[in-house]
Homo-oligomer: A and B are copies of this chain.
């Protein structure tokens, strides 16, 4: 694992995060979106044949299929899933916003009415692995928000079924329906509707490049959560950190994919050297040794800094999806952190804890987007409407100001809508 100074590291980091434009993918995605809008289910079936190799009968997972899924998961899995669900629900319940208003003189009432989004679609990736945690992290906040209809869409496996762990998670979390369709065609179906699949108002959940680009294109016709890029972990460690823990946590990120980045920022050169050795040792024992090795080679970095202050500056610049603070007094660092998706404090708060059971959402802003974006939350499944109630008396007090400002903007129709209420005609 390369050991660098902060300035060297930041130079390569800034370049890494910019999105690349690949118009070839966009053109394929746009063609799929248009085809699904035009031909609905028939287009979905054709793409499912083409991309998943399956002649699919119905896209809708039946109640019986979900019942059967329970027989195909272990008791340990179900018990751990329920435990995770409860902790996630407890945390997210704290995020529910209330409608509010303020009163002003002369009977004015101003505020915001907060309401759930009515219909939401959640994309759950398929392929070789199953992601029940994705189901929990998307469906639970939507449910708490009060979303009436939550649809999951996920690519079918080679035999036309959906992984049982995903189906069990869907029912436990409270999803209303599961569709067997993946890729850009699934995003098109959720955004525009087909004979079988009902249009939704917002789409959340991770996916491959085609799914991500499809989400970007349908954004505006429907809401989306975020465009996820390669993910990363940053660990701020001092000389008191345990290199065995830090190495294991870096590697837990590195195993995700070859593009993942695992970074340790440390004030201690001796620790940096110990960590490099430990990573080298642990990576060889991993099941996903190839992926993790490539990730560590390409983007795994140990950054040695001169002071705690410099460490804080560097982690704020990285704006990491996951930030672990493993120093003697981690809580004292917290108020200095400005940019991070999730902040994990101390030796016993590893990223994997947050990925599954801690409570907070594991859908976090990646690739430095934590400088402007937030974790997925209940607030992503609600929206606000401003409330404006003025009385005649309050209106008359501001009427002339409105007229002056509207006329500055050459919107005399706006001014006129005020004048008619003052009993003046222009």
- Contact pattern, A 83-96, Cβ under 8 Å of B = 1, otherwise 0: 11001001100110
| Cross-interface CB contact of A383 among B30, B374, B394, B398, cutoff 8 Å | B374
Question: In the docked arrangement, what's the CA distance between A334 and B110, Å?
Answer: 12
State whether B220 touches A409 (Cβ < 8 A): no
- A426 nearest in chain B by CB position: B285
Nearest CB of chain B from residue A294's CB, rounded to whole Å? 14
CB proximity to B under 8 Å, residues A282-339: 282, 285-288, 292, 323, 330-331, 334-335, 337-339
| Cross-interface CB contact of A360 among B110, B339, B415, cutoff 8 Å | B110
| Cross-interface CB contact of A221 among B18, B94, B132, cutoff 8 Å | B18
Total residues of chain A contacting the partner, CB 8 A: 138
| Cross-interface CB contact of A370 among B17, B385, B418, cutoff 8 Å | B385
Residues of B within 8 A of A110 (CB): 91, 358-360
- Contact pattern, A 244-278, Cβ under 8 Å of B = 1, otherwise 0: 11001101101110000000000000000000000
CB proximity to B under 8 Å, residues A343-393: 343-361, 364-365, 369-375, 377, 383-392
Question: In the docked arrangement, what's the CA distance between A131 and B410, Å?
Answer: 9
**A245-B420, A248-B417, A426-B285 are known contacts. Are A77 and B404 too (CB-CB below 8 A)?**
yes
| Cross-interface CB contact of A352 among B252, B338, B400, B406, cutoff 8 Å | B406
State whether A351 touches B417 (Cβ < 8 A): yes
State whether B220 touches A350 (Cβ < 8 A): no
Comparing A47-55, A59-67, A182-190, A222-230, the segment that makes contact with chain B is A222-230
Nearest CB of chain B from residue A125's CB, rounded to whole Å? 11
Residues of B within 8 A of A229 (CB): 220
CB proximity to B under 8 Å, residues A109-146: 109-113, 115, 117-118, 128-133
- A389 nearest in chain B by CB position: B345
Question: In the docked arrangement, what's the CA distance between A351 and B95, Å?
Answer: 31
Is A176 in the interface zone, CB < 8 Å from B? no
State whether A342 touches B386 (Cβ < 8 A): yes
State whether A416 touches B331 (Cβ < 8 A): no
Residues of B within 8 A of A343 (CB): 113, 385-388
Is A341 in the interface zone, CB < 8 Å from B? yes
Nearest CB of chain B from residue A371's CB, rounded to whole Å? 4
Question: In the docked arrangement, what's the CA distance between A81 and B408, Å?
Answer: 10
Question: In the docked arrangement, what's the CA distance between A402 and B352, Å?
Answer: 7
State whether A223 touches B375 (Cβ < 8 A): no
Residues of B within 8 A of A165 (CB): 408
Known A91-B110, A287-B410; 8 more pairs at CB < 8 Å: A112-B360, A216-B220, A219-B227, A248-B413, A249-B417, A348-B390, A353-B402, A353-B418
26 of the cross-chain contacts (CB-CB < 8 Å) are: A21-B34, A91-B102, A112-B360, A113-B337, A115-B338, A115-B339, A129-B410, A132-B405, A133-B409, A220-B229, A222-B372, A252-B413, A285-B416, A292-B413, A323-B385, A341-B385, A343-B386, A347-B421, A348-B395, A349-B388, A350-B418, A351-B417, A352-B418, A353-B388, A356-B414, A370-B383
